[in-house]
Amino acid sequence: MSRISVRAATILLFLLVVMTGSVQAQTLSVAPSGEDYSGLQQALDAALPGDVIEIAAGTYPGGVIVNIPITLAGKDSATIGTGADTVALYVNADDVVIQNLVCIASGAGIIANQTKGFRVDGCRIISDDSGIILTGCRESAVANTEITALRTGIETVFCNTTTISRSRVSGDSVGISIKDSSDTAVETTRLLGSEIGIIMENSNRCGLKDTMFAGVGGAVLGIGISEFTITGSTFTDVTQYIQFYAASECRVEAPSLQGPTFFAADIFSDTEYRCDPYSIFGRDFGLLYDPYEAPEGYLLFGDAMNITFIAAAESTELPVVIITADLLENTTGIAENTYGIYRTDAGEPALIAVPKVSSEGGQILQTTVTEPGNFALMARAEEEESPYYYIFLWVIVALGVLLLLVLWRKQ
């Protein structure tokens, strides 16, 4: 082959590569009539990876299988599936985005299997069983989505890095189920009307932030979990907030113990509960708010609490709770050596712990509880000197002056 032919072939190959690489994603339209396709599955079968399928208002058959990376964008409450469909959408490809669709099914609204980068945004899922099921998925996200299911709202099984945010989840049995998964985050999400709001089993490094529970029997149930963190939860009509069994290295932060009827129960666990201005750490115990009012002359800091021990745990170790309280920066108005942890079961509060020097050299306020009871962080108010004291003092001074005058005149 001559040099000219080789050069021409090289240029031709270069142009072919450039032309192939510059192919743009296409937008396909689905509508009951008048658009490219009348059915979503037809459009998917014709689409290429990276395409966008816009779905106009209407109801389309369920059982749709998504096998390529693609975006499904609904308009005007476009609906996939009916109560006669077992599943509305099956997703088996990476980087699938589902936006603004209504998915209805008798079994599951959406099932995603072994995917990466799957996203659901702005959708409404209605199911007689489960709303969304994620199995073996990575880097998935559900946002701005409303889910109503008769059994479970969202299920994740063997998943990694799942985010559920700004959504509303209602499952008659369970709101969100997290099993054998890691790095799951639930943020600014409402869980409504479920027997259990969130159940986690054999999962780690999960987080719950700024989530609301309403009309829920048990808000969070954790079994065999680790490194789970909860912050900023709010409650309406919740029976129990936390129940952990065989949990390790978990932390719950709450502004108050008030809200749920029962705050927490820990069995075979070592959870730390942070409720300003104190922390509670222990095993095989129950914790709830005590509506205690400090007697006259005392100041109450934070919520009073009731601690019980769970005999049914039948642990080989004795149940124990450690209460650690913050130190006061400003002691104005507080009587000396009265700030500390008190037992408040009956009668006059009994001071059981005051700040002391720790083994590290700093001060610490801490007590170990081995018997059930009621406890509070309190101090005695500094007594103000009575005005009668000053009157008496002035009388004494006046009498003294008068006596001096009498003695002086005698001289």
Q: Which of 48, 174, 67, 45 is nearest to 113 (CA)?
A: 67
> How many CB atoms are closer than 10 A to CB 384?
8
Q: How far apart are CA 161 and CA 186, in angstroms?
A: 11
Q: How far apart are CA 336 and CA 155, in angstroms?
A: 55
Domains within the chain, CATH numbers bracketed:
28-194 (2.160.20.10)
Identify the pLDDT of residue 408: 57
Contact (CB, 8 A) for 50 and 69: yes
Identify the pLDDT of residue 298: 95
Identify the pLDDT of residue 361: 76
Predicted TM-score of the model (pTM): 0.86
Q: How far apart are CA 83 and CA 148, in angstroms?
A: 13
Q: How far apart are CA 356 and CA 185, in angstroms?
A: 39
Chunked into runs of 10 residues, the chain (411 residues) has average pLDDT values of 48 42 78 90 96 96 97 96 96 98 98 98 98 98 98 98 98 96 98 97 97 96 97 94 96 94 94 95 94 94 95 78 94 92 92 89 92 96 62 69 65 61
Q: Environment class of residue 245 by beta-carbon count within 10 Å: exposed (0-12), middle (13-18) or buried (19+)?
A: middle
- Contact residues for 24 (Cβ-Cβ < 8 A; gap 6+): none
